[in-house]
């Protein structure tokens, strides 16, 4: 197990909000001990004291539910180092020490190519691993370029392209439900399933993140990575094992089976939107373009919906809708599997049955199955929902993925060819949207999104 982590960008939002709490969870659960060292680097040059205060404040804010002994262990294990990732001398000083290390690039994505180039110049100890945050590239060409740079640095097995959704318990549960039960797999195909919705609708707005979000938008921020990963887990053939090779081979098959969207398809199969001022609960929300740091000329979408078809024996005839939007009226974060209606209804005209829906709640984590039952009045049918709460996880998603990095198990990270295949799906959409082949709709904050979006439940 690797016992030294160097986080470049170790004082940013991601580090404070997710990485330090993830480490605290690992200390709390006994996966890490006092030998473990963390170096957090940035360009500012702060004192160890200032840095320690920042670490404690972040843990108090984002890991308050963890025992104070776990938070203290992180504070004791962590030190600050001033280093510009573009400067080889700085980087050499930051990584100096014995044995293999895990290097985490918690940096603005535009810096990734320069970061990998510098690490190559400096050289990493044998057995080291590198972790890259999303988004991996900004289109197919840049992802291919980054993959080439990484291939010169370390073996593919040592590259961890993070998608923290894959480490969420409820996402793992997509696999558990499908593969550890007999009842689902035999009906898991287009003969029985008409539509799958993979939805991350949120009431959250920009929350001060224009510097990042205004350059990517909903398609790159959510659909290209998290939602396509969920599609892979829903649609893949059962892997032989859950090892990195079997799992990732089957996921790549799904991405390769996605029918490419042509310019002619795109207006009917994709929607994009941007929110206007509105009210969400008791909050007044300004228009996206009036948020601080937003450049209206970029025409960044805050809502993206795409409808995909898979060219495969199992899925030909099923529609997959992937959608994510900000500033919507309600949070809806789920995978909803819609089954086809029953082939024959023996109840006569009194009986109407809604088709069954299996819902995997992503946040909050839950599982529910919508069935139809007979009602109390003779001849009537009523809806019946079976709901289960999923067991709370031992580790938060970032705790799990850090543990996998330290243990050298890349199964839940994205392989290089997988990242490129995901861009192959998204690139035609990016291109058509940039040419305005699909209008940028507007929707009021607090609404359901653009009027013609798919709100099928």
Q: What is the C-alpha separation between 125 and 85, in angstroms, rounded?
A: 17
Residue 53-92 contact track with ligand NDP, rule CB under 6 A, x = bound: ------------------------------xxxx------
- Closer residue to ligand NDP (CB): 37 or 84: 84
Which ranges of 262-381 would DSSP assign to H, the alpha helix?
266-269
Which residues 194-253 are close enough to bind ligand NDP by CB under 6 A? 212
Which tokens hold the place of 43?
């360009």
**Binding status of residue 42 toward ligand NDP by CB under 6 A:** yes
The two beta strands, 381-389 and 365-374, are antiparallel
Which tokens hold the place of 86?
């573009």
Q: What is the C-alpha separation between 197 and 170, in angstroms, rounded?
A: 16
Which tokens hold the place of 298?
């970029």
Which span (35-43, 67-75, 141-149, 434-442) binds ligand NDP, by CB under 6 A? 35-43
Contact 11, 44 (CB under 8 A): yes
Which ranges of 353-437 would DSSP assign to H, the alpha helix?
397-407, 416-434
- Closer residue to ligand NDP (CB): 15 or 261: 15
Q: What is the C-alpha separation between 73 and 55, in angstroms, rounded?
A: 11
- Closer residue to ligand NDP (CB): 9 or 396: 9
The C-alpha angle with vertex 46 and arms to 42 and 50, in degrees rounded to 5, equals 120
From 134, 195, 274, 323, residue interacting with ligand NDP (rule: CB under 6 A): 134
Q: How far is the CB of 103 from ligand NDP (least distance, A)?
A: 12
- Closer residue to ligand NDP (CB): 78 or 270: 78
**Binding status of residue 14 toward ligand NDP by CB under 6 A:** yes
The two beta strands, 278-280 and 270-276, are unpaired
Which tokens hold the place of 391?
């067991």
Q: How far is the CB of 108 from ligand NDP (least distance, A)?
A: 5
From 66, 107, 231, 327, residue interacting with ligand NDP (rule: CB under 6 A): 107
Task: Note if the bond before 364 is cis, omega within 30 degrees.
Answer: yes
62 is a catalytic site residue: no
Which span (8-16, 266-274, 395-403, 408-416) binds ligand NDP, by CB under 6 A? 8-16
**Binding status of residue 9 toward ligand NDP by CB under 6 A:** yes
Report the catalytic residues.
Answer: 226
Q: What residue ranges bind ligand NDP (CB under 6 A)?
A: 8-9, 11-14, 17, 41-44, 83-86, 106-109, 111, 133-134, 212
């Amino acid at each position: 197990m690797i016992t030294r982590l160097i986080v470049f960008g170790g004082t940013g939002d991601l580090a404070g909000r997710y990485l330090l709490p993830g480490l605290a969870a690992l200390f709390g659960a006994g996966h890490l001990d006092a030998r473990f060292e963390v170096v957090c680097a940035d360009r500012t040059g702060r004192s160890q004291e200032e840095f320690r205060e920042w670490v404690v404040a972040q843990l108090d804010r984002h890991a308050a539910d963890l025992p104070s002994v776990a938070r203290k262990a992180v504070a004791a294990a962590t030190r600050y180092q001033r280093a510009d990732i573009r400067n080889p001398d700085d980087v050499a000083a930051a990584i100096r020490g014995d044995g293999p290390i895990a290097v985490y690039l918690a940096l603005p994505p535009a810096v990734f190519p320069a970061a990998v180039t510098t690490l190559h110049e400096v050289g990493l100890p044998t057995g080291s691993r590198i972790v890259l945050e999303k988004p991996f590239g900004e289109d197919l060409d840049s992802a291919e370029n980054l993959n080439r740079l990484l291939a010169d640095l370390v073996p593919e097995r040592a590259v961890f392209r993070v998608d923290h959704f894959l480490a969420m318990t409820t996402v793992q549960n997509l696999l558990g439900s499908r593969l550890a039960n007999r009842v689902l797999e035999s009906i898991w195909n287009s003969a029985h399933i008409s539509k799958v919705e993979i939805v991350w609708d949120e009431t959250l707005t920009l929350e001060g993140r224009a510097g990042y979000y205004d350059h990517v938008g909903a398609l790159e921020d959510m659909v290209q990575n998290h939602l396509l990963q969920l599609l892979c887990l829903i649609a893949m053939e059962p892997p032989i094992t859950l090892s990195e090779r079997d799992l990732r081979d089957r996921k790549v098959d799904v991405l390769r089976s996605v029918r490419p969207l042509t310019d002619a398809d795109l207006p009917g199969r994709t929607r994009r939107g941007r929110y206007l001022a509105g009210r969400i609960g008791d909050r007044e929300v300004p228009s996206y373009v009036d948020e601080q740091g937003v450049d209206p000329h970029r025409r960044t979408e805050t809502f993206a919906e795409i409808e995909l078809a898979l060219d495969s024996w199992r899925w030909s005839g099923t529609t997959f809708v992937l959608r994510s939007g900000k500033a919507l009226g309600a949070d809806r974060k789920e995978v909803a599997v819609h089954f086809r209606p029953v082939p024959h209804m023996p109840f006569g005209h009194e009986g109407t049955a809604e088709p069954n829906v299996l819902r995997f709640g992503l946040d909050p984590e839950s599982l529910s199955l919508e069935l139809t039952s007979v009602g109390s009045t003779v001849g009537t049918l009523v809806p019946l929902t079976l709901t289960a709460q999923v067991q709370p996880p031992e580790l938060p998603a970032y705790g799990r993925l850090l543990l996998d990095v330290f243990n050298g198990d890349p199964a839940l990270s994205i392989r290089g060819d997988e990242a490129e295949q995901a861009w192959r799906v998204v690139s035609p959409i990016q291109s058509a949207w940039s040419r305005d082949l699909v209008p940028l709709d507007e929707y009021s904050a607090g609404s359901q999104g653009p009027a013609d979006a798919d709100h099928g439940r």
